[in-house]
Structure 1
């Protein structure tokens, strides 16, 4: 049976590139948008596609808790959830934390706690981590520090918090399912897809794995990578991705086969402590 994908933030640039790709797979999509004025734009994306497109008008800014998110999940009944929403710097720090942290975490919690949902993919960014990994150069670390502390401090705090919640809750659910002998193919997977600086270039090749910061990733390539990550059995964890030469599907399949996860060298115990403070 074709999966049903809830795409949160469906009016965003990446999401509008993503929607036709999902539908072309004969997957069904519910695009969640903020206002009714955005509906016609999204509906056009489904024309002539084999998958079914539905549109849900519901602002993520109104989602204040796991219970709020659960109501939407119960209404839509998705198999997979893709978070591609963001305040986009509008509305100041208050809106950034309301959307990029609080609503994102609410949907993450509700999704990981809903047995029928098997995948949750969030679009994050390369520098969203607290520790300097061994594969980063001094220049990479300096660039990340500048982005996270000087340029986009509130966005960084919001995104890293959401990434950590997804990481820990995904691990907890996966561990529980392994303990309960749930078949590997049916276990929950959480994915943080982490591009570099976004551009509007055409989709192209990629470089994935343990890479530095400072490079670019086209939004069209991110959209293709989301599809590749969703359809690659066993893909999970933090997937860092920039423009490169490798085919996106092949690259993510190989990354998954090797078990490479860019969350390596982050302190999971500290993550758990951070989550407890939210």
Structure 2
């Protein structure tokens, strides 16, 4: 049996988070799922039925987390060793809401996690287009297409996510025993778990099954030697377990090419 871990899952009612929760509980890990609507508690608690770990559902508004100290208070309450950010306004509602959650609250939890010695991994669910610069493995044409998508159609979401992703990378480097892992899927679908492409992908668009995103998140949390890194992912032709093993062993890092790399 895997050693017991305590996971703080931020944005627990999201589709990826609901797929991830049983995967963590099956490992006999404990999960504290943070949601904002009390009406969602009963349905979420059913995700833990018959599984080895303990599921605790807390009702808190991430939108109201406006400082590192507030985020640290929640971390100190839950006492996780792993944190997963699967929350966000997703560009919906007022622009301020996207910035408050996807950028500001995410950054507060990142900094609070790095400041907590017992937290050793933080997985951020981001998206493939969250980049400041063209990576060497993308052509200029692909880069321009990506700019047209991420910086126009998804402008405020892009701005919020790329800011949080940079902070995770930079802050994560401050501790040798901390892995800030930014998992970066493409267009999300409801397809079942399947084979994946993971790492430096030659394309900037495509589909990513939410179930595969959840599966990869669990595998990355489970990987003992995973390092601070960005990992792009799409549906592909490699077994997820093999893809994670390869990326961890080779030290794949898709943050290469960013100004802070």
Please state which band the TM-score falls in when normalised by the shorter chain.
Answer: over 0.9
> Could you tell me how far apart the structure 2 residues matched to 1:139 and 1:255 are?
26
Q: Which has the higher helix share?
A: 1
> Could you tell me how far apart the structure 2 residues matched to 1:135 and 1:21 are?
33
Indicate conservation of the 8 Å contact 2:90/2:157, yes or no: no
- One of 29, 50, 57 as aligned partner of 1:27: 29
In the TM superposition, residue 238 of structure 1 has moved relative to its aligned partner by 0.3
Is 1:245 the counterpart of 2:244? The answer is no
Alpha-carbon RMSD across the aligned residues, in angstroms, is 1.1
- Match of 1:207, SS state, is strand
What is aligned with 1:206? 196
- One of 102, 126, 137 as aligned partner of 1:100: 102
In the TM superposition, residue 150 of structure 1 has moved relative to its aligned partner by 1.0
What is aligned with 1:262? 254
> Could you tell me how far apart the structure 1 residues matched to 2:139 and 2:225 are?
30
Q: Number of aligned residue pairs: give it.
A: 257
In the TM superposition, residue 90 of structure 1 has moved relative to its aligned partner by 2.7
What is aligned with 1:124? 126
Is 1:220 the counterpart of 2:222? The answer is no
- One of 19, 40, 43 as aligned partner of 1:41: 43
Residues 67-78 of structure 1: pairs in structure 2 closer than 5 A: 67-78=69-80
After the TM superposition, which segments of 4 or more aligned residues of structure 1 sit over 6 Å from their partners?
none
> Could you tell me how far apart the structure 1 residues matched to 2:141 and 2:13 are?
35
> Could you tell me how far apart the structure 2 residues matched to 1:37 and 1:205 are?
35
In the TM superposition, residue 88 of structure 1 has moved relative to its aligned partner by 2.4
The runs of 5 or more residues in structure 1 that have no matched partner are 175-186, 270-278
Q: 1:139 to 1:216 in 2, by over 3 A?
A: farther
> Could you tell me how far apart the structure 1 residues matched to 2:56 and 2:96 are?
30
- Match of 1:71, SS state, is helix
In the TM superposition, residue 248 of structure 1 has moved relative to its aligned partner by 0.6
- Match of 1:173, SS state, is coil
Per-residue deviation, residues 197-217 of structure 1 (Å, max 9, x unmatched) = 111111100011111211110
- Match of 2:19, SS state, is helix
- One of 164, 167, 171 as aligned partner of 1:165: 167
Is 1:140 the counterpart of 2:131? The answer is no
In the TM superposition, residue 138 of structure 1 has moved relative to its aligned partner by 3.2
Indicate conservation of the 8 Å contact 1:143/1:214, yes or no: no
Please report the TM-score for the alignment, with normalisation by the length of structure 2: 0.96
> Could you tell me how far apart the structure 2 residues matched to 1:49 and 1:36 are?
23
Indicate conservation of the 8 Å contact 1:67/1:110, yes or no: yes
